[in-house]
A and B are shown apart, each in its own frame.
Chain A
Amino acid sequence: MTDRLEIRVEVNGTWREGRVEPRLTLADFLREDLDLTGTHVACENGFCGNCNVLVDGESVRACLMFAVQADGRLLLTVEGLAEPDGTLGRLQQAFHDNHGLQCGFCTPAMLVTAHEYLEANPGGGSDEEIRDAISGVLCRCTGYQHIVDSIRAAAEEAA
Chain B
Amino acid sequence: MKAAPFAYRAPETLDEALSLLAAGDGARVLAGGQSLVPLLKARVVKPTLVVDVNRVPGLAAIEVDGDGALRIGALTRQQKLLDSDAAAAAQPLLREAGRYAGFLATRHRGTVGGSLAYAAPWAELTAAAVALDARLEIRSAGGERTVPARSFFQGPHETVLEPDELLTVVHVPAAAPRTGVGFHEVSARYRDFANVAAAATITLDEAGACTAAELVLLRVAATPHRVDVSHLVGAPFDGAAARAALVDALAGLDPAGDIEASGTYRRRVAVTLALRALQDANAKAGATR
Chain A interfacial positions (CB closer than 8 Å to B): 1-3, 5, 21-23, 25, 28, 44-46, 49, 52, 55, 58-61, 63-66, 68-69, 113, 116, 132-133, 135-136
Contact of B105 among A3, A28, A45, A61 (CB under 8 A): A61
CB <8 Å contact, A1 and B108: no
Interface string of B28-64 (1 = CB under 8 A from A): 0010011001101110000000101010000000000
Determine how close the nearest CB of chain B comes to the CB of A113; give it in whole angstroms. Answer: 7
Some 7 contacts from A to B, beta carbons below 8 A apart, are A22-B5, A22-B8, A49-B105, A60-B108, A65-B109, A66-B30, A136-B106
User: B106 — which chain A residues lie within 8 A by C-beta?
Assistant: 46, 61, 64, 136
**Roughly how many angstroms separate A49 CA and B109 CA in the complex, as a whole number?**
13
Q: Is the CB of A60 within 8 A of B109?
A: yes
Query: Does B103 belong to the interface (CB within 8 Å)?
Result: yes
Contact partner of A65 (CB less than 8 A), chosen from B6, B8, B33, is: B33
Q: With the chains together, A132 CA to B5 CA distance in Å?
A: 37
- CB-based contact A45/B6 at 8 Å: no
B8 interface neighbour in A5, A63, A132, Cβ under 8 Å: A5
A133–B6 CB distance below 8 A: no
Q: Label chain A's interface by main secondary structure.
A: mixed
Interface size on B, residues (CB 8 A): 30
Instruction: Report the nearest A residue to B33, measured CB to CB.
Output: A64
Q: How near does chain B come to A117, taking the closest CB pair, in angstroms?
A: 9
Tell me, yes or no, whether B190 is within 8 Å of chain A by CB. Answer: yes
Q: Report the tally of A-B residue pairs with Cβ distances under 8 A.
A: 83
Please provide the 7 A-B residue pairs with the shortest distance between their CB atoms, ordered closest to farther: A136-B103, A22-B8, A59-B105, A23-B3, A58-B108, A64-B37, A45-B38
Measured between beta carbons, the chain B residues less than 8 angstroms from A3 are: 7
In the complex, what's the smallest C-beta–C-beta distance from B113 to chain A, in angstroms? 16
- Name the CB-closest residue of B to A65: B33
Complex contact A1–B103 (CB within 8 A) = no
Given contacts A2-B5, A45-B38, 8 further A-B contacts (CB under 8 A): A45-B41, A58-B108, A61-B34, A63-B37, A69-B52, A69-B54, A116-B104, A135-B189
Partner of A64, one of B2, B34, B52, B189: B34
On chain B, the residues within 8 Å of A21 by CB distance are 5
A68 touches B8 (CB 8 A): yes
Known interface pairs A2-B7, A5-B8, A135-B189; A44-B41 also in contact (CB < 8 Å):
yes
A135 contact from B8, B33, B103, Cβ within 8 A: B103
Residue from B38, B40, B54 within 8 A of A23 (CB atoms): B40
| Distance of A21 Cα from B7 Cα, bound (Å) | 9
- A44 and B6: CB pair below 8 A? no
CA A133 – CA B191 in complex, angstroms? Answer: 11
Nearest CB in chain A to that of B55: its residue:
A69
Collect the chain A residues with CB atoms within 8 Å of residue B10's CB: 68-69
Shortest distance from the beta carbon of B279 to any chain A beta carbon, whole Å? 24
Say whether B108 contacts A23, CB under 8 Å: no
Residues of B within 8 A of A116 (CB): 104
Shortest CB-to-CB span from B195 to chain A, Å, is: 14
A68 to B3, CA, bound (A): 14
Q: Considering only CB atoms, which chain A residue lies closest to B4 in the complex?
A: A23
- B8, A2: Cβ atoms under 8 Å? yes
Contacts of B8 in A (CB 8 A): 2, 5, 22, 66, 68
Query: Which of A5, A46, A59 has a CB less than 8 Å from the CB of B37?
Result: A46
Judged by a CB distance under 8 angstroms, whether B259 is at the interface is: no
Report A-chain residues with C-beta under 8 Å of the C-beta of B189.
135
